Structure 1
Amino acid sequence: MNNQTTGDKIFDAAVHTALAVICVIVLYPLFFVLIASFSSPDTVMRGEVWLWPKNISWIGYTKIFNNNEILSGYLNTILYTVVGTSINLILSVAAAYPLSRKDFYGRGIISVLVVFTMFFSGGMVPAYLLVKQLGMLNTMWALIIPGAVSVYNILIMRTFFQEGIPYEMQEAASIDGCSNLGTLVRIVLPLSMPILAVMILFYSVGHWNAYFNALMYLNDRAKYPLQLFLREILIQGQMQEMVGVGDNSNARNVMEGEAIKYALVIVANLPVLVLYPFLQKYFVKGVMIGAVKG
């Protein structure tokens, strides 16, 4: 650092400045939603909330936690995320490990067939008809089974198994009498905690934020995930703003809807925001595995 030239110092300062500006641009919307969630709705709508909350109000959070449908949606989302991520992880490992083995006959052809599905699919209507014929409409499984595996994540795991775990270790386990399943459970998985953490993050975030499949396959509001209720609130808020706020009752509904909207965004994203910092280093590693390795 002491041997840096003036040009290097200027370049470093410019890079740090640019990164600081980007961080502010990226983080400010989240910070604004946070302070707006416990500011008075009328001050938010008048544009008076910028850097700190004004006229502290908890009406948004009060409305949320007094709404049984939202609480039910929150619990449903947790259930769908836990069950879906577990199934995703098991099936991804079951697909990626054989494809990573050099002694697996026909793995090249199978890999081509798996990758083929990334570029071509049957479409929305055939998918809906298939879910209907399987009797999964209006059930939890309609949100989990159709997306039980991700080809992209399978390829990332396969690459990690190939490049991150020496094949000689698996051969040694086989010589010692360990079966393929035993090698996977006793050797491969304990050494694959980084990629497993990445997969948990990928899949859990996907399930937590998903709403489109629920919109297509569910008609029982008791089974709605949280994101579907959030979508309804956002649409209702937009419709109320389009109608106008000529009378006091409508104006009050619009303001309450604005408060609920910001509070619900915070409540809906809080688990992911809490989880991400602990898995960030694994997240970056997983992205690099998929981007750098073949």
Structure 2
Amino acid sequence: MSTNSHEAAGRVNESQSYNYSNKISTGSNVALNVMFWLISLACLFPLLLVVSVSFTDERSIVEFGYNIIPKDFTLYAYEYLFKDAEKIVRGYGISILVTVIGTVISLIVTSLFAYPISRKDMPYRNFLAFFVFFTMLFHGGLVPWYLTYSAAGLKDTLAALIIPLLVAPFNIIIMRIFFMNTIPDSLIESAKIDGAGEFRIYARIILPLSLPVMATIGLFQTLAYWNDWYTSMVFINDDKLVSLQYLMYKVITQIQYLNSGMVDASVAGGELAKVPTETVRMAMAIIGIGPIIFVYPFLQKYFVKGLTVGAVKG
């Protein structure tokens, strides 16, 4: 008994020493916190600089360069942009509407495609998965892409801003891998034994268990729709249907044209000298980035989990 008790005590001591050795010391904890605070500030600094420059006078930027604290505070860049506030408000509405509708439909379509090809009992699932992968390598080209949507009658419609970005092959692959590594086959078989059909399994079991990957893909699609300006330039001729990003693109293009020297100063008058360049760019960045800043915190925990779950199998 004495020998066994000594061996048990030795194992307990070894376990305690192992636990103590894995604990982070106070100094290391403080150093890690300081390092992450510095990294956070380094990431936040460019955003603060953009905000500061947008409130700085254009002549002050030319003379002193960028500063985190405005030397000559002014709202002229925002006043210049909001001279036609109706267009900006309408552009905001179009972008928000397209982003919300497009993201929701995209999640439904992507999951409806990714879930069947993740099932081992799905016929031709490997061929369909290869078909998705093939579209990532080869593209039909700009002209066929334009002719296809134009022939479908999508020009000057909101559908032209939604459908071209509706499905991304990369998102389908991510979601398929998530389903394969996370949803056990036994769970689906149990649901079938209980009498559940495929659509009921998809709606009641698969989707509730897929919140991390749905939030991750949703964030990808939200950013894609919100930052898209190219489809507005190609398919939209009606100024009432252009997105906010394309509207900002047109403003910056007009400013560059006015400052290119191709416009006669006598024709443009005194307004040419008052056109802001750097400050209005920063103001447009602040106006365009606003909604995304408010969306990301709500999806952050799902976003991190969606990228890590299934990466390491137990």
Supply the distance in 1 between the matched residues of 2:212 and 2:78 (Cα, whole angstroms): 36
Query: Superposed, which structure 2 residues align to 1:80-159 within 5 Å?
Result: 80-159=98-177
Supply the distance in 2 between the matched residues of 1:26 and 1:242 (Cα, whole angstroms): 33
Shift in alpha-carbon separation, 1:138–1:291, aligned structure 2, 3 A: farther
Percent identity, aligned pairs only, is 37
Deviations 1:186-245 (A, max 9, x none): 111111111111111010110000011111111111111011111112222223333299
Does 2:282 align with 1:262? yes
Q: Which amino acid aligns with 1:249?
A: E
Does 2:223 align with 1:205? yes
Does 2:271 align with 1:249? yes
Per-residue deviation, 1:49: 4.1
Q: 2:72 aligns to what?
A: 55
**Mean alpha-carbon deviation: is it higher for 238-247 or for 152-161?**
238-247
Query: Superposed, which structure 2 residues align to 1:155-166 within 5 Å?
Result: 155-166=173-184
Contact 2:160/2:231, CA 8 A, preserved across alignment: yes
- Compute the TM-score of the two structures, normalised by the length of structure 2: 0.81
Per-residue deviation, 1:250: 1.5
Supply the distance in 1 between the matched residues of 2:264 and 2:60 (Cα, whole angstroms): 15
Supply the distance in 2 between the matched residues of 1:56 and 1:245 (Cα, whole angstroms): 30
Contact 2:229/2:246, CA 8 A, preserved across alignment: yes
Does 2:58 align with 1:41? yes
Supply the distance in 2 between the matched residues of 1:290 and 1:50 (Cα, whole angstroms): 45
**Mean alpha-carbon deviation: is it higher for 115-124 or for 201-210?**
115-124
Q: For structure 2, which runs of at least 5 residues remain unmatched after alignment? A: 1-18
Per-residue deviation, 1:93: 0.8
Per-residue deviation, 1:140: 1.2
Does 2:299 align with 1:279? yes
Q: 2:13 aligns to what?
A: none
Contact 2:60/2:71, CA 8 A, preserved across alignment: yes
Supply the distance in 1 between the matched residues of 2:62 and 2:244 (Cα, whole angstroms): 25
Q: Which amino acid aligns with 1:132?
A: S
Does 2:203 align with 1:185? yes
Shift in alpha-carbon separation, 1:228–1:2, aligned structure 2, 3 A: same
Supply the distance in 2 between the matched residues of 1:137 and 1:180 (Cα, whole angstroms): 37
Does 2:48 align with 1:31? yes
Shift in alpha-carbon separation, 1:290–1:177, aligned structure 2, 3 A: closer
Q: Pick the structure with greater CA Rg.
A: 2
SS of alignment partner, residue 139 of structure 2: coil
Supply the distance in 1 between the matched residues of 2:63 and 2:247 (Cα, whole angstroms): 26
Q: Which amino acid aligns with 2:67?
A: W
- Taking only aligned residues, the RMSD between alpha carbons, in angstroms, comes to 2.9
Supply the distance in 1 between the matched residues of 2:249 and 2:312 (Cα, whole angstroms): 37
- Alignment size in residue pairs: 285
Contact 1:99/1:158, CA 8 A, preserved across alignment: yes
Shift in alpha-carbon separation, 1:71–1:63, aligned structure 2, 3 A: farther
Q: Which amino acid aligns with 1:58?
A: L
Q: For structure 1, which runs of at least 5 residues remain unmatched after alignment? A: none
Per-residue deviation, 1:175: 0.4
**Mean alpha-carbon deviation: is it higher for 120-129 or for 43-52?**
43-52
Supply the distance in 2 between the matched residues of 1:112 and 1:212 (Cα, whole angstroms): 28
Contact 1:81/1:204, CA 8 A, preserved across alignment: yes
Per-residue deviation, 1:125: 0.1
Deviations 1:244-274 (A, max 9, x none): 997743211x23x544332221011011122
* Structure with bigger RCO (C-alpha 8 Å, 6+ apart): 1
Shift in alpha-carbon separation, 1:269–1:248, aligned structure 2, 3 A: same
Q: Which amino acid aligns with 1:159?
A: I
SS of alignment partner, residue 264 of structure 1: helix
Q: Which amino acid aligns with 2:90?
A: S
Shift in alpha-carbon separation, 1:240–1:46, aligned structure 2, 3 A: farther
Deviations 1:155-209 (A, max 9, x none): 1111111111222111111100000100011111111111111111010110000
Shift in alpha-carbon separation, 1:272–1:59, aligned structure 2, 3 A: same
Q: Which amino acid aligns with 1:221?
A: D
Q: Which amino acid aligns with 1:76?
A: I
Shift in alpha-carbon separation, 1:292–1:228, aligned structure 2, 3 A: farther
